[in-house]
Each structure stands twice: as C-alpha cells, then as structure tokens.
C-alpha cells in the first residue's frame, strides 16, 4: 500500500528531515511511527500526503509514484488518504454533522451521499446523538472522534494520524485508539505518529522508529522502547 | 464537480463575514467607475455639442442652395484652390437636416416649424493656419459671395469648451485610473482577509482532496460580486448624471451651443456597458491576484 525507496528530505539550511528511508507498509497494516521530536515523523506523514516532495527517492501509494503526480491529480490522491490532526482542526461554527459533511461536500458529493454516510460514520465513532452539537460543546476526546469521523467518512484506503492522542488524557486516549483499531480492522491502513509509550506498548503493532531522519528500528508487534 | 449551492453559500458567507470591508470595496469601485463614466458621458456630450467643430474645423460656409448649383461650384473651386485651406468637407442638405434634427430632438416645437428646406447645406473648412486672425481673413473671403448665406467661426467659446472638456476629461480620467488601481488593491485586500479568516477551512479542504478551483472559486466570485455591485453604483450614478445634470444644459434657454450638449439612451447604454466590462476586469484581476498570492494549494 505504501512504499518508500531511498527517500531523503532536506529543508532549507541543510536540515535533513529524512535520510535514505526505505519502508514497505502493506494493505491493512497498523504502523506506529515513534521517535524523539525532530526525528522526522511529521515529515514522513507529510510526504505520504504529498504536502511535501522528497529531494531524492520515490514514494508509492497504492502502486502510484506520488512524486511524479501532476499538481491537479494531488487532490484525487488525498481523497484516498484520511488525515487526523493532534489539535482536531474542527470548524467551530459548524455542528458535528456539518464538520463531517464538509469533507464530502468539498469533494463534490451530493446531498444523498452526505445524508447516508454522515449518520453512519457518526454512529461508528459513537457520536450519533451529538451530531447537532458544536465543537465547543464537546470534550477533547469527542472532538478527536469528530476529527476521525471527518477523516474516515470518505472511506479512504489509508488513515494518517499525527499525534492524535497528544492533547488527550490516558483514559480518553485508549478510547481513541480503540476507534482507530476498529477502522484498521475494516481494512484501512493506519500510520500513526506518536510519543505515547503506553499506547504503543499496549497495542503491540508494527513500530517504525526514526532518529535524526533515519529508520533505526522496524519491528513487527513492537514496543515503544 | 462544483455544487452551485455550496459555491453560492460560501460566497454569501464570505461577504457577510467582512461586510464593512466589502461595502468599502463596493463604494470605492463604484466611485472610481462613476468618475470614469462621468468622464465618458461629458466627452460624449461635448462631442455632440461641438460635432461640427471637430478635427480642426475653424469656420463653416453656410450655403443658400448648394448641391451642384453654379454658386456652389464656385465656392467649392475657391476652397480647393485656396492655399490657406488644408481640407474641406461638404455636408449636403439631407445630412445637414439630420444633424439639425439630432441637435433639437428634445425641442419638438423647433422641429415642427423648420423642415428640410429650411436647413442649409454647408462646408466645414480646416485652414492650414489656425491663427484666429488668419482664419478670420480666410473666412471673410467667402462672405457675401453669391450663394453663401453666412460664414460662422469656431471662435473662442467653442475652443474654450473643447479645451476645458479635454482638461477636465484628462483629470477625471487620471483620477478614475488611480481609483481603479485602489479598487483592485481593495478587492485583493478584502479577499486576503477572507482567505485568512478561513485558514483552517482551507487547510481541511486541501487535505480531504478539494481541487484548487473548488477552493478558489468562492473567493473569486466574492471579488466579482463586489466589482459588479460597484458597477451598479456607477451605472446608477451615470444615469442620474445624464438625467439631472447633462440634460439640464441642453434645455437651458438661450445657449444654442448647449442645445447639442446631451447624451442619448444608446450612448448611456454604451458607457454603462463599458463600465460593467471594466468592473468585471478589475474584479477578476484583483481576485486572481489575491488567490495566487494568498492561496497556496
């Protein structure tokens, strides 16, 4: 599903964010990206979403070399990739349902699709009864659930999550991880950058550790360390 | 695929969120285009009032009969042979009557008492030297000739009107260009504010796969709406200017020159269409500039 071949990303001032990264992530895998701040986790995720392009190497998503993708095709790539933020990024003047519907509306889906898919996804994330609430009326965990619902409503092949539990307490984080696990079980590939040791240790999924832009460990059913 | 409902809703919301800035933009676009429209309308009116005196015509030889009579041939030969005459143009009785009807179209009582036979043909004469004394001497050679009714000169008043119109026109034109530049910047600024207010929304749109144009169109439409509303303000001002200012000149008693100082409906429509086109141009240019500078999809 995702393949990186000798990927190097250098920012201005010769800051090497990723160096010669080779990785292969299969369909339906759940992968934790771990490592200290500045190790290249966020850059890894941004490259997969074509928010950035590498200086060297090639990145394949669903068999397609996304580095060679022309600009107008990038939105269509992103329709297959859900994105969950640490700070939720919900639209405060829209209700829960409107926030989720927004993701469908802006890719041109009609009311019929929206009216069918939005309640279904809110049911999945456990917010069906709060669909008319505004974000400020929800807890942090609930807001993150809305963010996940928005990322998953279009049924993407891949879900990228950048520190999704970073702003949540441990108990709420467990609930969010349970939700991501369910999404993964449906067949979605999940790549999650995190600093949360307890979560990584408890889930025993594949762990890719980055340090100064290099993959220093790639372990099936690993722990944080 | 674009959802019309979505685009209209987003455009409306953008305008409403920055309503004061949007109003300022509309007013500035309106004022600058009204100045431009005013300049055009006065040019049209002055051209109409001084139509016979355009292109360097300094005197007119009015004939009694014309149209190939012996007297007419004699005057024509003299004009052709005179070294002081650069060029001349003959306006026959039919054309002269048409001009007359156009001139007095708002005073039917005049048109009722004068028919085609009462309007003389004439020669418009451009001298080599426009010096008033030379023109006076040249024109006087035709006075009293058989077949010549009278000779009239452009004189100081008409030249002054044309000069004043040209100078005022230039000032209005430059002023309106400066204001149109300001309007473009204001549209750009309004859209920049709108884009900035919706940073999070735009980021989400990009990440969930909205196309570049899907993100851009509501902003561009917002700029276009502001430009079009400005055009409506300018077109209304132009119509009022025509009806309550310019037309008042032509009905002023005793000023024959000003009888032709007017703008008809077709001319007003032409000016307003031009205003509309410029408004659209300014709006589209400002919008494209704004989205190119502030939307990095």
Separation between Cα atoms, residue B295 and residue B297, nearest integer Å:
6
B296 touches chain A (CB under 8 A): no
Chain B touched by A98 (CB under 8 Å): no
Residues in chain A: 225
Q: For each of chain B's 297 residues, which pLDDT tens digit applies?
A: 557 777 788 888 878 888 888 898 899 889 888 888 888 888 888 777 666 666 666 788 888 876 677 888 888 888 888 888 888 888 888 888 887 777 676 667 767 777 777 788 888 888 777 777 777 788 888 888 888 888 887 766 666 777 777 787 788 788 878 888 888 888 888 888 888 888 888 889 988 899 888 888 888 888 899 899 999 999 999 999 888 877 776 665 545 555 566 788 888 899 999 999 999 998 888 888 888 887 765
Helix (H) or strand (E) holding A222: none
Residues whose CB falls within 8 Å of the CB of residue B127, separated by 6 or more in sequence, listed in order: B58, B59, B84, B85, B86, B134, B135, B138
Give pLDDT tens digits for B170-225.
Answer: 887 888 788 888 888 888 888 888 888 888 888 899 888 998 888 888 888 888 99
pLDDT at B252: 54
Q: How far is A223 from chain B (nearest CA, A)?
A: 30
Q: What are phi and psi of A221, to 5 degrees?
A: 50, 50
Buried b (16+ CB within 10 A) or exposed e, B209-228: bbbeebbbbbbbbbbbbbbe
Q: pLDDT at position A44, please? A: 94
Query: C-alpha angle B16/B19/B25, rounded to 5°?
Result: 130
For B118, the token pair is 């009462």
| DSSP H helices in A63-110 | 74-78, 96-105
Q: Which two tokens stand for residue B61?
A: 């030889």
Listing from the earlier edge strand, what are the strands of the sheet with A2-11? A15-25, A2-11, A56-61, A64-65
How far apart CA A225 and CA A213 sit, in angstroms, is 18
What would the 3-class secondary structure string for chain B be?
Answer: CCCHHHHHHHHHHHHHHCHHHHHHHHHHHHHHHHHHHHHHHHHHHHHHHCHHHCCCCCEEEEECCCCCCHHHHHHHHHHHHCCCEEEEEEECHHHHHHHHHHHCCCCHHHHHHCCHHHCCCEEEEEECCCCHHHHHHHHHCCCCCCCEEEEEECHHHHHHHHHHHHHHHHHHHHHHHHHHHHHHHHHHHHHHHHHHHCHHHHHHHHHHCCCHHHHHHHHHHHHHHHHHHHHHHHHHHHHHHHHHHHHHHHCCCCCHHHHHCCCCHHHHHHHHHHHHHHHHHHHHHHHHHHHHHHCCC
CB–CB of A106 and B214 under 8 A? Answer: yes
Q: What residues in A contact B211, CB-CB < 8 Å?
A: 72, 75
According to the model, what pLDDT value does residue B251 have?
Answer: 60
Question: What distance in Å separates the CA atoms of residue A195 and residue A175, rounded to the nearest whole number?
Answer: 17
Which of the residues A85, A98, A105 would you substitute to probe the B interface, choosing the one with the greatest number of B C-beta atoms within 10 Å?
Answer: A105
> What pLDDT is recorded for position B77?
84
Tell me, what's the pLDDT at B98? 82
Residues 6+ apart with CB under 8 A from B263: B41, B44, B45, B48, B242, B246, B247, B271
Please report the residues numbered 157 through 176 in chain A whose beta carbons come closer than 8 angstroms to any beta carbon of chain B: none
Nearest to A108 among B2, B206, B212 (CB): B2
Task: Identify the pLDDT of residue A208.
Answer: 95
- Residue A79 is nearest to which of B203, B204, B209, comparing CB atoms? B209
The verdict on a CB contact (< 8 Å) between B208 and A106 is yes
> Phi/psi class of residue B278: alpha, beta or left (left: φ > 0; alpha: ψ in -120 to 50)?
alpha
Helix (H) / strand (E) containing A85: none
Tens digit of each residue's pLDDT, chain A (225 residues): 899 999 999 988 788 899 999 999 999 999 999 999 889 999 999 999 999 999 999 999 988 899 888 888 899 999 999 999 888 899 998 999 999 999 999 888 888 999 999 999 999 999 999 999 999 999 999 999 999 999 999 999 999 999 999 888 888 999 999 999 999 999 999 999 999 999 999 989 999 999 999 999 999 988 887
Locate the chain B residue with the closest alpha carbon to A76: B209
Across the interface, do B6 and A150 touch by the CB < 8 Å criterion? no
């Amino acid at each position: 599903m995702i393949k990186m071949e000798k990927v190097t990303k250098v920012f201005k001032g010769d800051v090497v964010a990723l160096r010669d990264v080779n990785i292969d992530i299969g369909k339906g895998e759940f992968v934790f990206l771990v490592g200290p701040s500045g190790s290249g986790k966020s850059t890894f995720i941004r490259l997969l979403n074509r928010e950035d392009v590498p200086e060297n190497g090639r990145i394949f998503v669903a068999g397609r070399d996304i580095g060679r993708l022309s600009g107008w095709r990038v939105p269509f790539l992103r329709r297959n990739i859900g994105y969950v933020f640490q700070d939720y990024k919900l639209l405060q003047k829209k209700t829960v349902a409107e926030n989720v519907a927004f993701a469908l509306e802006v890719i041109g889906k009609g009311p019929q699709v929206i009216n069918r898919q939005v309640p279904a996804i809110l049911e999945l994330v456990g917010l069906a009864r709060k669909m008319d609430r505004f974000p400020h009326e929800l807890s942090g965990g609930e807001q993150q659930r809305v963010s996940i619902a928005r990322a998953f409503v279009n049924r993407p092949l891949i879900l990228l999550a950048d520190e999704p539990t970073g702003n949540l307490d441990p108990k709420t984080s467990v609930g969010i991880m349970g939700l991501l696990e369910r999404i993964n079980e449906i067949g979605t590939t999940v790549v999650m950058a995190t600093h949360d040791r307890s979560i990584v240790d408890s889930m025993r999924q594949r762990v890719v550790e980055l340090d100064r832009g290099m993959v220093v460990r790639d372990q099936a059913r690993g722990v944080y360390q | 695929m674009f959802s019309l409902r979505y685009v209209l809703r987003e455009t409306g919301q953008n305008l409403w969120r920055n309503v004061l800035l949007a109003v300022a933009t509309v007013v500035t676009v309106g004022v600058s285009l009204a100045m431009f429209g005013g300049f055009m309308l006065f040019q049209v009116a002055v051209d109409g009032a001084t139509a016979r005196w355009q292109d360097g015509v300094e005197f007119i030889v009015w004939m009694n009969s014309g149209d190939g009579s012996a007297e007419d041939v004699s005057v024509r030969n003299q004009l052709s042979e005179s070294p002081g005459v650069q060029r001349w143009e003959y306006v026959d009785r039919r054309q002269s009557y048409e001009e007359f009807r156009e001139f007095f179209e708002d005073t039917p009582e005049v048109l009722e008492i004068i028919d085609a036979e009462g309007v003389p043909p004439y020669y418009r004469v451009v001298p080599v030297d426009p010096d008033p004394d030379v023109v006076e001497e040249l024109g006087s050679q035709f006075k009293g000739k058989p077949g010549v009714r009278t000779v009239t000169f452009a004189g100081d008043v008409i030249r002054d009107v044309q000069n004043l119109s040209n100078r005022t026109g230039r000032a209005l034109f430059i002023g309106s260009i400066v204001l149109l530049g300001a309007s473009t910047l204001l549209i750009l600024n309004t859209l920049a504010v709108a884009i900035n207010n919706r940073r999070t929304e735009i980021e989400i749109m990009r990440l969930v796969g909205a196309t570049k144009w899907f993100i851009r169109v509501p902003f561009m439409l917002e700029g276009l709406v502001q430009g079009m509303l400005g055009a409506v303000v300018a077109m209304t001002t132009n119509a009022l200017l025509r009806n309550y200012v310019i037309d008042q000149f032509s009905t002023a008693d005793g000023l024959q020159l000003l009888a032709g100082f007017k703008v008809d409906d077709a001319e007003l429509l032409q000016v307003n269409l031009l205003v509309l086109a410029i408004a659209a141009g300014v709006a589209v240019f400002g919008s494209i500039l704004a989205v190119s500078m502030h939307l990095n999809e």
